[in-house]
A and B are shown apart, each in its own frame.
Chain A
């Protein structure tokens, strides 16, 4: 992954070009199924911002920015974290357990639930880092396989021991309203989740731009040998970065549960594919935190617009997922475009 190999201007140009090409290719897919691409794109844009669209887009930004930054901070330091699903599930489970069963007053439960979620998600990613450092199992593979295990285990837990028998669904009891995160602060349409994620995003950006740790991680991503020779303790750094990446994924899971879903329902955290959208956003942004946030917001709007388009035109919203993937592929295939132009 070649983060930082391009200067900002040509990177921006490359991203815009990729989006343009992806929109055209996506239009071809739409055409092939007999629909009109122009009206599809129009509905997506309208749906993302008009009416309730804006509020939905903002709500969707919370988990998406979280998962994208989780990938980005790892990628910046040279780690590919494909295990966001597992870290999110483990974090969400920890949050719901604390929020349901810890005998402390409501708001304290919420705060402790968030901390527990970050700890659990972080530890889950840290194990994958240990597997890479100690046993040479690639982090990418270990984190991904562990996702499947987390999926099975959490699914079992919410279907059997933790299940709320009152609903017909495989899900836990509802979190008491006192332990939930408020959906509106000072009567503004701003949820607690948005505030927390905004703070996290700013912290990640500031750390990347001015923090000594962020500096160290970025240089390691650019040249680990140089970092080591200059005195960086690489194994310790890998563990820390993996933990933080997992903690962010766990936090995203907890914010969804405490702020939007209020219980752990089997499959509900993963169904929207936040991990993979976040991964795409971070890769597209070449792991720059600011760009990652911008791209995540763009993807959130795209997805919300997609749902609106599905409601009005009846075409599947997953089209926006196709668009995201096409953008990545166009960007990754960039050398093809450049090479052809030169010769």
Chain B
């Protein structure tokens, strides 16, 4: 029972985790990225569309990554390089994503609402053989799609990138005091631009997991605020990959418990709130701690 739940948590949290990693990179680079929601939606749409066209899950995921990276270009160029307002651009991208996917869904596939197609297959799930032998843990960790495992590898990889490599060090400096970084020879706008594009690719991955992970379909606005939860997860985790992963785990848990309670007969309107309520409560908790600290210092 509990192992089933935890296994579900891993599935549910993956899109948010990937999007939050994208947000973390941007945050570290000093670009406030509130377009995660829209980029994820584009990724989900492209993944399903490409899946219909190519019939291959691998190509579908690749297409989602590439197209979403391209979709991130306005933020990369306008926001990071030319000093446009990242909040306005982020809002614009979110709305464009929502409009464009709905339009193309209808114009290309003649569908409103939800696109299900027999040629769209969910990402293959496989158990790691070594894990399957372990009791309980095997049931939790086994049987996910490759992207679930990849997302955790990415958490580690981004941690290593940020804190162990020279580029990560430069990125952190750029995000903190861009003028100082430039004074020491770092090319601030090149770093920011490329990071925003890479983050776009990660959001594409997040969208692909959302659309092809547990289900195999695209629905209008199917991200339903997950991109915003990713934004908050970056804040809660203070742009630290492991902290963010923990925040996402909490989100996944709230989501999974909500789904369970729904199975027990609680109306889904109430259980749907759970992730947002938990997220808001977590921010309130963090805020209270900050306020208390300030009081002590004063």
Contacts and interface: CB of A to CB of B under 8 A. Distances in A.
A272 to B, nearest CB: 13
Interface stretch (B12-20, B100-108, B151-159, B172-180): B100-108
A166 interface: no
Interface in B125-152: none
Contact of A333 (B74, B104, B284): B74
A141 B91 contact: no
A152 B270 contact: yes
B89 A156 contact: no
A333 B78 contact: yes
B263 interface: no
A31 B99 CA distance: 16
A298 interface: no
Interface stretch (B22-30, B59-67, B225-233): B225-233
A334 interface: yes
A135 B89 contact: no
Nearest to B86: A332
B102 A321 contact: yes
Given A29-B100, A316-B106, A159 B267 contact: yes
Interface stretch (B161-169, B196-204, B207-215, B285-293): B285-293
Contacts of B291: 134-136
A135 B96 contact: no
Interface string A289-307: 0000000000000000000
A107 to B, nearest CB: 33
Interface stretch (A54-62, A87-95, A232-240, A275-283): A275-283
A247 interface: no
Contact of A328 (B77, B95, B276, B279): B95
B92 A332 contact: yes
Contacts of A334: 84
Contacts of A322: 96, 99-100, 103
A2 B74 contact: no
Given A135-B283, A332-B89, A321 B228 contact: no
B103 A319 contact: yes
Interface stretch (A97-105, A112-120, A142-150): A142-150
B276 A335 contact: no
A332 B88 contact: yes
B38 to A, nearest CB: 9
Nearest to A315: B107
A135 B99 contact: no
B78 A336 contact: yes
B85 interface: yes
Q: How large, as a class, is the contact surface on chain A?
A: 35 or more
B108 A33 contact: yes
Given A149-B277, A316-B103, A80 B87 contact: yes
Contact of B96 (A2, A142, A325): A325
B291 to A, nearest CB: 6
Nearest to B34: A140
A131 interface: yes
Contacts of B287: 131, 134-137
A152 B272 contact: yes
Given A142-B283, A322-B100, A335-B78, A149 B91 contact: no
A1 B283 contact: no
B98 interface: yes
B280 A142 contact: yes
Contact of B99 (A137, A321, A335): A321
Nearest to B274: A152
B235 A141 contact: yes
Interface in B234-292: 235, 267, 269-270, 272-273, 276-277, 279-280, 283-284, 286-288, 290-291
17 contacts: A134-B287, A135-B283, A135-B284, A137-B287, A141-B232, A142-B283, A145-B232, A145-B279, A146-B280, A276-B98, A316-B107, A318-B103, A319-B99, A321-B99, A325-B99, A329-B78, A336-B81
**Which 10 pairs, one residue from A and one from B, show the smallest C-beta to C-beta distance?**
A135-B287, A321-B99, A325-B96, A152-B273, A316-B106, A156-B269, A33-B107, A328-B92, A333-B78, A322-B99
Given A325-B96, A333-B82, 14 more contacts: A29-B100, A140-B87, A141-B232, A152-B273, A160-B267, A283-B88, A315-B106, A321-B99, A322-B99, A325-B100, A332-B84, A332-B88, A333-B78, A335-B84
